Every structure is written in structure tokens, then in C-alpha cells.
Structure 1
């Protein structure tokens, strides 16, 4: 019932947002649209009965440019981090989502990045675009280095793409540990159980001194920090 209510609410917001979206397009503004997204995520959190405990926000500068990297347990993870990270982050989203009416246009306008998971060249192009936006506009990006949601709730192997983005832009990596979303909405489940979630932001990891040849060492360091806060 709670999940259905959130779906209805977001559908209503999409309809009502059209005039606002047109104004954002007309004047080339993005922050109000991102703020509206954060507000919608906050409303959804309350309706779904999610209690979120956050730790470590003092570990990074909200005005800085970072690559946030988190473990991926549930469909809830992306919206949750979009809501709790205290800056207007950008994210990578599979390209099919951009075909949705209104929503796709809004995501494109705020510089979310479409990803073609089936083509290696498409992934490289997406990373290049993200790097350009980080350098030119000072954006931060959220990445799930496992590449997909965990099937059993355990931390999986990390892919290299997001780390190459950090190396290309010299942006520090902020490791993030998410605890609890797997129990509330595991992969394959379409409703959300109410409950508690913990989000822990670790100290940023500088990429200075690392390069493409030593990227595996960087990956191991970030993965170790994320794993350190997860249940055994």
C-alpha cells in the first residue's frame, strides 16, 4: 500500500512538473529541478516509513567535487543517496530510463548521464562526458562500483570505470556504506518494507599518487573502507 501510494504520488508530480520543467528549460536553470527531486525523495521516504541514520557528513566539504562510491543492495540506494548527500550530485542511469516522458527530459536537463550497459564504447563515452562536466562545472557524481545490485546482500567485486573517472578528474573518492536497504527491498522485490537504514560516509580517499597501472590498489583501498562498516 505504501509503495503504491509513492508510485501514485510520483506520477502526479510528473504531471504537475511540466510547466516548471518548461521554465527550467527556458531559462537554463537546473538547481531548482534538483531541489524538487530531493524534496520528492524526502516525501517518499516518509510515506514508505524509512528511518535513515546518517554518519560522517563532516568528513567532506559539501561544496567540493567528489566521486561518491557506495555498495549497491537495493533499488532504494540511488534515490536514498540523492536525498541525503548535501549537494546536487549527478548520477549514471541506464539509457532506457531517459525514454520516459517528462522524466527523461528532466534528467537530461540536469546532466544525469545515460549509460549503455551493452556497449563498452558507450560506457567510455559516458565517463568522458562525466569527466568533462566535473572539470567544467565542478559536479560530483555518484557511482555504484559493483555495477549492479547484489543478489545476496554481500559486497561484490568492483569495476574500474568509476575509478578511472576519479583519476581523470583528480577528484577524491568518498566511500559510502549502506546498511539495511537489502532487507527492505532486495533485488526482485517490488514493494518496500518500512524500517531503518544506515548511511556512513567515510573519509575521502585522494587519488593523487595513483594511476591506471595502480588502479587496483585504489580499488582495494576504497572497497576496504566500504566493507569496514558492513555487517559480517
Structure 2
């Protein structure tokens, strides 16, 4: 019964979110993406019986921009982080998602950035666009540096794109550890089980004065944080 209720809820949310987003933006609400994300995940949490614990929120200064980097083990991870991160957050997403009717247009309008992972020039343009959004709009960006969801729940090698972004913008990186979502909704499962999720915000990793040559060391430091 919970699954049916949640499915109906998501279908209604998908239909309503795009026009609501446009209306909220037109009247200049604080951040419709943040508000809608928190509302959708908040209702989902109640329907699913999820308990969410957050640790280390004091490591986040809402007045600063960050590149958040989290482990990725479940479809729940993205909505979860939009729910718990206390800032205006955007994401760089693969270009194919933006081809989905209505959804793609809504994402582009909301400030999400497309990237063609097969083209280096596209990656550079996406990073430049994200840096500009941080400086002009105060956005932070969420990155899953493994590049895809882990099949075994373990942390795998981190790709470098998010580190290029953090160094280019000269903003701190906040490593995030997500615990529990793999057990509740591993890759391949359509709906999650009931249970507890824990999100840990680790201390920021400074990138001030860092260059591309420092990225391997930054990646090691972030990987160490995410793995704890």
C-alpha cells in the first residue's frame, strides 16, 4: 500500500512541479528548487517511514559557496541531500536527462547544468558555467565524484571533474558520508524499505591557492573523509 501511495505522489509531483517552479520564480520566492526539493523529500520521508539523522551541520557556513562531494550508493542519495543541505544547491547532470520533455526544460530553467561526458570541451563549458553561477548567484554544487551508483555499497575511485570545479572556483569542498541508503534502496530496487539514514558533513577541505597540480592530493583527502 505504501508503494502505491508513493507512486501516486511522485506522479502528481512530477506533473505539478514544473508549473509551480515557474510561478514561484515569477514571484521571486527565496529558492523554489530548494523549497520543492525539501517538500517532496519531506512527504516521502513520512510515507516511507524514513528516519534521517544529520551530523556535522556546523561545518557548513550558509554564507559561503561549496562543492559538496558525497558517496553514491542509492537513488535516494540525491533527494536526500537536497533535503538536508542548508543551502541553494545545483547539480551538473548528464546531457541526456535534459532531453526529457518538461523535466529537462524545468532543470535548465532552475539552474542545473548539462554536460556531455564524452566531450572534454563540454566538460570545460559546464565547469565555467558552474563557476559563474557560484560567483553571481551564490550557488553551491553537489557532486557524486564516483560518477555512478556503487553496486556493492563501497566507496570507489573518485573522478576528477568535481575537483576541477572546486579549484577553478577556489571554493572549499565538503565531503559527505551517506550511511543507510544502500541497505534501504540499493541499485536495482524500485522502492525503499523502512529504516534509518545518517548523513555526515565533514570539515571543509580548503582549495584556496590550489592548482590543478594539487588535485590528486585533494582527491585523496576527500576520499579519506567520505570513507569514514
The equivalent of 1:202 in structure 2 is 202
Please list, as runs of the form range in 1=range in 2, the aligned pairs for 1:1-16 lying within 5 A after superposition.
1-16=1-16
- How many residues are treated as equivalent by the alignment? 228
- Between the aligned partners of 1:59 and 1:33, the Cα distance in structure 2 is 23
C-alpha displacement at 1:29, in angstroms?
Answer: 5.9
Tell whether the 8 Å contact from 1:14 to 1:102 is kept in structure 2 after alignment. Answer: no
- Between the aligned partners of 2:156 and 2:19, the Cα distance in structure 1 is 42
1:114-165 Cα deviation digits (max 9, x unpaired)? 2223333322222221111112212100001111111111110011110111
Closer, same or farther: CA 128–30 of 1 in aligned 2, 3 Å: farther
C-alpha displacement at 1:39, in angstroms?
Answer: 0.8
C-alpha displacement at 1:102, in angstroms?
Answer: 3.0
The equivalent of 1:131 in structure 2 is 131
The equivalent of 1:145 in structure 2 is 145
- Between the aligned partners of 1:135 and 1:18, the Cα distance in structure 2 is 26
The equivalent of 1:80 in structure 2 is 80
- Between the aligned partners of 1:29 and 1:108, the Cα distance in structure 2 is 18
After TM superposition, where is structure 1 displaced by more than 6 Å over at least 4 residues in a row?
none
| Structure 2: gaps of 5 or more residues | none
- Between the aligned partners of 1:213 and 1:21, the Cα distance in structure 2 is 41
2:213 aligned with 1:184, yes or no? no
1:70-117 Cα deviation digits (max 9, x unpaired)? 111111111100111011211122222223333322221210112223
Closer, same or farther: CA 22–65 of 1 in aligned 2, 3 Å: closer
Tell whether the 8 Å contact from 1:25 to 1:109 is kept in structure 2 after alignment. Answer: no
Closer, same or farther: CA 30–58 of 1 in aligned 2, 3 Å: closer
Closer, same or farther: CA 27–160 of 1 in aligned 2, 3 Å: same
Moved more, 76-85 or 40-49: 40-49
Closer, same or farther: CA 159–28 of 1 in aligned 2, 3 Å: same
- Between the aligned partners of 1:30 and 1:80, the Cα distance in structure 2 is 20
SS in 2 for 1:213: helix
The equivalent of 1:173 in structure 2 is 173
Please list, as runs of the form range in 1=range in 2, the aligned pairs for 1:56-75 lying within 5 A after superposition.
56-75=56-75
C-alpha displacement at 1:209, in angstroms?
Answer: 4.0
Q: When the two structures are superposed, what TM-score results if normalisation uses the length of structure 2? A: 0.92
Please list, as runs of the form range in 1=range in 2, the aligned pairs for 1:84-99 lying within 5 A after superposition.
84-99=84-99
The equivalent of 1:109 in structure 2 is 109
SS in 1 for 2:20: helix
Closer, same or farther: CA 121–197 of 1 in aligned 2, 3 Å: same
Q: When the two structures are superposed, what TM-score results if normalisation uses the length of structure 1? A: 0.90
- Between the aligned partners of 2:159 and 2:97, the Cα distance in structure 1 is 22
